[in-house]
A and B are shown apart, each in its own frame.
Chain A
C-alpha cells in the first residue's frame, strides 16, 4: 500500500506558520522580474494593453495563485506524486505527437477543450521532480553504479526524443541539460559524464540526420552568421545591432528603433531581451541578469538549507532548468548560441512557460518552507 510505504508525517506546520516561512525575498525578486517583463511587453505592443499585456497579466495572476498553492503543499506529497506527474506529462507529449495541432511551424500544442497547453513545458518540471525522487531514493553506492543510471537516462531520453520530433530543439536541450544537472547534483561520478559525452558525440551524425532542415540551418548559421544575412542569420545580426545600438543607457523606453520597426523578429517572445536591452541599455540588461543571479543564488541557499535530499535536488534542479532558460535565451540573442526557440523566463510572452516556471518556483518555495522535514531514503522509513 502506498499509504503505508510513503506515510506522511502529521503536518508539523500550521498554514499560518507556512505563510510566515515563505521566502519573501524570492517572491519579491519574481515579482520584480515579472513586472519588468510586463513593461517590455507594453513597449513592444506600442502602448496597447490588448495585444499582450493584459493576457500576460492574467496568466501571471493564475501562475502566482498556483505558485503560492504549491508552496504551501507538504513536500512529501510531491515526492509521492513525482512519478505519476512524469507519466502524465509523458502521455501528454505522446498525445501531441498523435493529435497535436500545428502552431508556429511545429507541433507543440495540445488542445484540451478550450485549454491550449504545451506538454513539453510541463515536462520540464515533471522531469526534475521524477529525477529528484529517483536519486533521493538511491544510495551513493547505487548512484555510482552504471546500471542504476539506465532508468534516469531513459527518463530524460524519452521526452527529449519526443520533443526533438516536434521539433523543438530548445526544449530538448533544456531537458537534456536540466536532467544532466540532476545527475551532477546526485553525485554521479564525472567519468560517467565523460563516457556520456563521448556517446552523445558518437550519436551526433545520427542526430544530425534526424534534425529538420531549418534546425540544421540554424546551427550552421550560428557557426557562420554571414552565411545567410537575409535569412536565418538575419535574426542574430538584427538582434546584435539592436543591443549594440542600445549602448549603456539604452535608447529610452519605447524608443527602440530595431524593435519597433520590425527589424527584430518575435520581439514579444524569444527576442524580448533584445528589446529590453535596446531600450534600457546595458543597465537594463545587467539589471535583469542581476535579478536572475539573485534568484539562482537563492535556489542554492534554499537547497543547502533543506534537510531532505529530495528537496535539495528539487530546488537546485528547478534552479538549473531556470538557469538554462536564461542562458540559452540570452546566449542566443547576443549571438553566443544558435537561434533556438527558448523563451526568456518570467519575461517572454507565453502562457505555459510562465505558469510552469511559477509552479517550479512554487516547488522551490515549498522546499524552503518544508526545509526541516526529513524524508527517509527508503519508502516507508523516515529519519525523524
Chain B
C-alpha cells in the first residue's frame, strides 16, 4: 500500500507533466492555426484564387474579306477535326504511350493518319501536359467525322470538334492580293496575347497581312476554375471578344476571275482600274498558287516547287514585276514634248526604218519604215523613228519629269510591302548611279520605253487611268473605306482646263486630246497596231497602246535571222505589253496587261485586254442598273 502511494505521487506529478506538455503543444497548434487563418488569411486566400482561377483567351472570329459586290474572297470554314486527350486514353494502369498507340491504331481505319502525322502527334504529346488536347487530323469530311463520332464511346480520350479555318473560295485567282494566313512564327510581334493561342493564325501576305489587325478582332476572355491538374471545372465569367471586322475590297472578283482565266498559263499580270475613283477592279498575276494550302503548312517539296518555278507563282507581278514598258511609254514622250512646246501635234518625221545618231543606228520595228508620220499616226502605228526624233528634241529630263507626274518611278503603294517603284532614269540618276554621263542615244532608247526604264503593271494602269481621265491625279484604292464617303465622280473631266481641279496634273486639254486621238487610232483605225483587238460593240470601244519590250539587246545576227517567236527560247522572247482605256466616248476603266516573254503586245497582250475590258464594261453596266433599281425601290433618305 505504502509502496503504491509513493508510486502514485510520482505518477501524479508525471501525469500532470505529460498532460501539461500536451496542453502546451495543443495551444501551439491553436496558435499556428490562428497565425495561418487570421494573420495570413488574406494572402493565402489570394493564393487560393490564383490556384483555381485561370484566364483563357477566346479567339475572335476573323473578319471576312469581300469584293465590291459582296462576294466572299476569304471566309472561315468549319473545320471538322479529331483531337486526343492523352491522359484520358489510358485504360487501367496503361502507360501513356501504349495507350496513345492503341488509340491511334483504333482510329486509323476510320480516318486517314499518315506516318508523318503520327510522328507529329507523338512528338506533341510528349511535349505537352497530358490533359492538353492534341490535334490528330484536321479538315475531315463529314463522313469521316461522323465515323469517329459513332465510334467515340469505344475510344476514350478521343475528342471530335468543329474548329474554324480560313477558306479562300476564289483560290488561285486572288491568292497574291488577298494573301493567306499562317501559324504565328517566332518572328512575329507578339504584343497581342491572342498570338500565343495554339493554332492561332495571322495574315501572312497580301491584304490578310495588310489589314490583319482589323480582321483579327479583339480577344475575349473566359475566367475558368481549374483543378490542380489544370483541367477546367467550370466557367466563372465570360467576356466575349470582338470579332474581326469584315473588309470590303474594291475588286470585282468576277472580272478578276475572267482576267486570271484569260492570262491562263502565261507568266503575266493585268490590272484594271476605275479611272475616276482609283478603285482597283482587277489585279491579276499568273501563275498563282492555292492559298488554302498554306493553312496547314506546305511540305518542303511543295514549297520548293513554288519557289523554284521560273514563272514565280508566289510573286504578285502586278505590283512587284518590273518591265520595260516598250511603246506603251510613247504617250509620255508625246506629252512631254507637247507640254514643253518643243513640237506641235502636226510635227512630221519621215521614217525609213532606221535613223543614225553618231556612229549608232537606231532601228524602227518596221523594217521598211513607216514613211511620213505625224504624232497621231506615229502613235497609231507605233513608229519608233518618230519617237526617236521627238525624244531627242525633248530631252531625257523633261520625259522623266512627265513620266513621274503620271506616277512612273514611284511605287503604287498600298502598304503591302511588295510594291516596287520601277525606274525612271534621268541625267542625274545615271551620273549618281554609274558615274557616267547620260548619252543622247539613251534618250532615244528611253523614248520607245526601252533601256533603263522599268514599270510595274500597276504603274502602267495608273498612268493610263490618268491619261484617260484627262490628266487628273488618281489614288489607287484597294480597300473600300469602312464608312463610304460620297464617291466623287467628275464626269466630263475631259473638258476641264488645267488648274480647275485640285487633282489636275497640269496637262493642257489640247495635249490630252492629241494623246486620246492617237490611242483611239491604235485600236479603231485599220492601220492601228491593235486594230484586230478592237471592241466592236457600240459604246464599249476601247483606246489603247501596244508595247513590245526587248528582254535582250537585238543583235545584227538576230535581225538578219528574223526568227519567229516559236523559234526563240521562252526566256529570250519579248515581253508583251498593252495599256488601254474604255469606253472611248466616256472613259471609265483603264487597263494594263503584261505578258512576260509573250512576244508582241499587239498579238499577245491586246487580245487579252480586249476580253477583260469588254467584260468589265458589261459588268459595270449591269452594276449601274442594279444600283439604279435599288435606288428606285428605296430612295435615299432626304435630310430635313
Which residues on A are within 8 Å of B, measured CB to CB?
139-140, 181, 184-187, 238, 240-248, 257-258, 261-263, 277, 281-282, 285-286, 289, 292-293, 296-297, 300, 303-304, 309, 312-313, 316, 319-320, 323, 326-327, 330-331, 334-336, 377, 383
B19/A297 in contact, CB under 8 A: yes
Of the listed stretches B34-42, B449-457, B459-467, chain A binds B34-42
Q: Write 13 A-B pairs (CB below 8 A) sorted by A numbering.
A: A238-B228, A241-B44, A244-B36, A248-B37, A263-B52, A296-B23, A309-B7, A312-B8, A313-B11, A330-B29, A331-B32, A334-B33, A377-B3
B11/A312 in contact, CB under 8 A: yes
- B228 smallest CB distance to A (angstroms): 4
The complex places the Cα of A124 from the Cα of B96 at a distance, in Å, of: 41
Among B4, B17, B26, B225, which residue has its beta carbon within 8 angstroms of that of A293? Answer: B26
Q: Residues of A contacting B34 with CB < 8 Å? A: 282
Among A262, A292, A377, which residue has its beta carbon within 8 angstroms of that of B227? Answer: A262
- B179 smallest CB distance to A (angstroms): 44
Scan B208-235; emit 1 where CB is below 8 A from any A CB, else 0.
0000000000000000011111000100
Is B12 in the interface zone, CB < 8 Å from A?
yes
Q: Which residue of B lies closest to A313 (CB)?
A: B11
Is B48 in the interface zone, CB < 8 Å from A?
yes
Q: Residues of B contacting A187 with CB < 8 Å? A: 7, 10-11, 14
Scan B1-25; emit 1 where CB is below 8 A from any A CB, else 0.
1011011101110111111001101
Residue among B4, B12, B19, B52 with the highest chain A CB neighbour number at 10 A = B19
A281/B26 in contact, CB under 8 A: no
The complex places the Cα of A72 from the Cα of B286 at a distance, in Å, of: 102
Is B43 in the interface zone, CB < 8 Å from A?
yes
Q: Residues of A contacting B47 with CB < 8 Å? A: 241, 244-245
Among B33, B36, B48, which residue has its beta carbon within 8 angstroms of that of A257? Answer: B48
Among A293, A312, A334, which residue has its beta carbon within 8 angstroms of that of B36? Answer: A334
Number of A-B contacts (CB under 8 A): 148
B44/A240 in contact, CB under 8 A: yes
Is B51 in the interface zone, CB < 8 Å from A?
yes
The 3 closest A-B pairs by CB, nearest first: A244-B44, A245-B48, A261-B227
- A164 smallest CB distance to B (angstroms): 23
Is B102 in the interface zone, CB < 8 Å from A?
no
Is B45 in the interface zone, CB < 8 Å from A?
yes
Among A184, A282, A292, A334, which residue has its beta carbon within 8 angstroms of that of B26? Answer: A292
Given contacts A243-B37, A309-B11, contact A181 B18 (CB under 8 A): yes
Which residues on B are within 8 Å of A, measured CB to CB?
1, 3-4, 6-8, 10-12, 14-19, 22-23, 25-26, 28-30, 32-34, 36-38, 40-41, 43-45, 47-49, 51-52, 225-229, 233
- A56 smallest CB distance to B (angstroms): 24
The complex places the Cα of A335 from the Cα of B44 at a distance, in Å, of: 14
Q: Residues of A contacting B43 with CB < 8 Å? A: 244
B228/A263 in contact, CB under 8 A: yes
The complex places the Cα of A338 from the Cα of B605 at a distance, in Å, of: 87
The complex places the Cα of A309 from the Cα of B6 at a distance, in Å, of: 11
Given A258-B52, A319-B22, A334-B36, output 20 extra A-B contacts at Cβ < 8 Å: A240-B36, A244-B48, A245-B41, A245-B49, A258-B48, A261-B226, A263-B227, A286-B33, A289-B29, A296-B19, A303-B11, A304-B15, A309-B7, A312-B11, A320-B22, A331-B29, A334-B32, A335-B32, A335-B36, A377-B3
B11/A300 in contact, CB under 8 A: no
Q: Residues of B contacting A331 with CB < 8 Å? A: 29, 32
B225/A261 in contact, CB under 8 A: yes
- A256 smallest CB distance to B (angstroms): 9
The complex places the Cα of A240 from the Cα of B35 at a distance, in Å, of: 11
Given contacts A263-B227, A281-B37, A336-B32, contact A303 B15 (CB under 8 A): yes
The complex places the Cα of A323 from the Cα of B18 at a distance, in Å, of: 10
The complex places the Cα of A258 from the Cα of B45 at a distance, in Å, of: 10
Among A243, A285, A296, A330, which residue has its beta carbon within 8 angstroms of that of B44? Answer: A243
A263/B40 in contact, CB under 8 A: no
Residue among B1, B17, B32, B229 with the highest chain A CB neighbour number at 10 A = B32
Q: Residues of A contacting B22 with CB < 8 Å? A: 296, 319-320, 323, 327
Chain B interface helix/strand/loop/mixed: helix
A140/B26 in contact, CB under 8 A: no
The complex places the Cα of A20 from the Cα of B398 at a distance, in Å, of: 127
The complex places the Cα of A330 from the Cα of B31 at a distance, in Å, of: 12
- A233 smallest CB distance to B (angstroms): 14
Q: Residues of B contacting A244 with CB < 8 Å? A: 36-37, 40-41, 43-45, 47-48
- A92 smallest CB distance to B (angstroms): 29
Chain A interface helix/strand/loop/mixed: helix
Among A184, A241, A312, A335, which residue has its beta carbon within 8 angstroms of that of B48? Answer: A241
A304/B12 in contact, CB under 8 A: yes
Q: Which residue of B lies closest to A320 (CB)?
A: B18
Among B7, B12, B18, B36, which residue has its beta carbon within 8 angstroms of that of A243? Answer: B36
Q: Residues of B contacting A261 with CB < 8 Å? A: 51-52, 225-228, 233
B41/A248 in contact, CB under 8 A: yes
B29/A334 in contact, CB under 8 A: yes
B37/A316 in contact, CB under 8 A: no
The complex places the Cα of A374 from the Cα of B227 at a distance, in Å, of: 59
The complex places the Cα of A56 from the Cα of B40 at a distance, in Å, of: 34
The complex places the Cα of A319 from the Cα of B28 at a distance, in Å, of: 18
Given contacts A181-B18, A293-B26, A300-B15, contact A247 B37 (CB under 8 A): yes
Among A139, A184, A248, which residue has its beta carbon within 8 angstroms of that of B18? Answer: A184
The complex places the Cα of A326 from the Cα of B26 at a distance, in Å, of: 9
The complex places the Cα of A243 from the Cα of B229 at a distance, in Å, of: 20
The complex places the Cα of A247 from the Cα of B36 at a distance, in Å, of: 8
Among A257, A292, A300, which residue has its beta carbon within 8 angstroms of that of B19? Answer: A300
Among A243, A246, A257, A309, which residue has its beta carbon within 8 angstroms of that of B52? Answer: A257
Q: Which residue of A lies closest to B39 (CB)?
A: A244
B229/A262 in contact, CB under 8 A: yes
The complex places the Cα of A331 from the Cα of B3 at a distance, in Å, of: 40
Q: Which residue of B lies closest to A257 (CB)?
A: B52
The complex places the Cα of A296 from the Cα of B3 at a distance, in Å, of: 28
The complex places the Cα of A248 from the Cα of B10 at a distance, in Å, of: 42
Q: Residues of B contacting A285 with CB < 8 Å? A: 33, 37
Q: Residues of A contacting B26 with CB < 8 Å? A: 289, 292-293, 296, 323, 326-327
Among B12, B38, B48, B225, which residue has its beta carbon within 8 angstroms of that of A248? Answer: B38
Residue among B4, B8, B44, B48 with the highest chain A CB neighbour number at 10 A = B48
Q: Residues of B contacting A297 with CB < 8 Å? A: 19
The complex places the Cα of A312 from the Cα of B45 at a distance, in Å, of: 46
The complex places the Cα of A313 from the Cα of B11 at a distance, in Å, of: 8
- A178 smallest CB distance to B (angstroms): 11
Q: Residues of A contacting B228 with CB < 8 Å? A: 238, 261-263
- B10 smallest CB distance to A (angstroms): 4
Residue among B3, B10, B18, B41 with the highest chain A CB neighbour number at 10 A = B18
B44/A383 in contact, CB under 8 A: no
Q: Residues of B contacting A327 with CB < 8 Å? A: 22, 25-26, 29
Q: Residues of B contacting A140 with CB < 8 Å? A: 3, 6-7, 10
A185/B15 in contact, CB under 8 A: yes
A383/B1 in contact, CB under 8 A: yes
Q: Residues of B contacting A282 with CB < 8 Å? A: 33-34, 37-38
Q: Residues of B contacting A334 with CB < 8 Å? A: 29, 32-33, 36
The complex places the Cα of A262 from the Cα of B51 at a distance, in Å, of: 11
Q: Residues of B contacting A240 with CB < 8 Å? A: 36, 44
Q: Residues of A contacting B3 with CB < 8 Å? A: 139-140, 377
A316/B15 in contact, CB under 8 A: yes
Q: Which residue of B lies closest to A374 (CB)?
A: B4
The complex places the Cα of A327 from the Cα of B33 at a distance, in Å, of: 13
